[in-house]
């Protein structure tokens, strides 16, 4: 229920998040309280992070993997489209990792191994493409 409520709050405030993403000066000129909005969004994101860590465990590259793939597939920076895409890709990555661990490799090992492997590979590809952090 917490993830659903926070996800809906983020989705319905995606317009304000788009304006905040433009920077402090632009957001202020549009009449958005930048500091308050940033704190609000950070609290919501920290709630989502704590829920995912409690349910799945610490996954270093999971967020990076899902965010990178979501922006690539959505081909836009509008959060109204990126949020549902991120949800679908995150669900797909987790279920695929569980499927491979339990049905293909036939081992009850930790799923984070597969996610960290592919997340690390995607991180290296992005890093080598941009040639900087």
What pLDDT is recorded for position 16?
94
* Global pTM value: 0.77
Q: Hey, where are the domains in the chain? A: 1-55, 58-133
pLDDT tens-digit profile of 12-30?
999 999 999 999 999 999 9
CA distance 35 to 96: 38
- Intervals of the chain under pLDDT 50: none
Q: Is 58 exposed, middle or buried (0-12, 13-18, 19+ CB in 10 A)?
A: exposed
């Amino acid at each position: 229920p917490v993830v659903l409520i926070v996800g809906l709050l983020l989705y319905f405030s995606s317009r304000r998040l788009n304006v905040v993403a433009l920077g402090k000066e632009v957001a202020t000129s549009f009449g958005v309280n930048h500091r308050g909005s940033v704190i609000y969004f950070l609290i919501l994101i920290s709630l989502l992070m704590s829920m995912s860590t409690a349910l799945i465990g610490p996954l270093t590259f999971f967020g990076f993997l899902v965010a990178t793939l979501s922006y690539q597939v959505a081909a836009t920076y509008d959060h109204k489209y990126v949020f549902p895409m991120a949800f679908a890709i995150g669900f797909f990555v987790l279920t695929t990792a569980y499927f491979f661990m339990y049905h293909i490799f036939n081992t009850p090992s930790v799923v984070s191994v597969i996610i960290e492997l592919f997340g690390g590979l995607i991180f290296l590809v992005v890093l080598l493409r941009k040639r900087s952090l």
